[in-house]
Amino acid sequence: MSSIPTPILWTVIIGLALGSYGLRFAFIGFMGGKPIPEWLMRHLRYTAVAIIPALVAPLVVWPAPTGGAPSLMHFSAAAATFAAGYLTRNVLIGLGTGGLCLLLLYLAA
């Protein structure tokens, strides 16, 4: 796996550290008791649940281990992970199920 250039890595770490702190401090630090506009809250609620699926969908359809060729094995493991996570509402059970599924399919193939 190609390693990440050190200047890039540290820029990302420092940028994210400052940015994340800024987001966390924004209201509790600056706004005092002022309420945050409702339309803004409404969009903030859906950022994580939009960005993470958008990040992962192409990784599932064109998986890196096959060099981007669609693979039933990876798709099945992905579907199992999502389904288990959704049904149990537990991230670790989801990840465990998917990992096991990937391992079994890999051994069977």
For another protein, the binding residues in 32-71 under the rule CB under 8 A are 32-33, 35-36, 39, 41-65
The alpha carbon torsion through 70, 73, 79, 82 (nearest 10 deg) reads -110
Residues 22 and 29: their CA atoms lie apart, in Å, by: 9
Supply the minimum distance, in Å, between the C-beta of residue 77 and another protein. 7
Supply the minimum distance, in Å, between the C-beta of residue 37 and another protein. 10
Q: How far is CA 71 from CA 61, 63, 64, 82, 106, in A?
A: 8, 7, 10, 17, 11
Interface with another protein: number of residues (CB under 8 A): 76
Residues 76-95 that bind another protein (CB under 8 A): 77-78, 81-92, 94-95
Supply the minimum distance, in Å, between the C-beta of residue 96 and another protein. 8
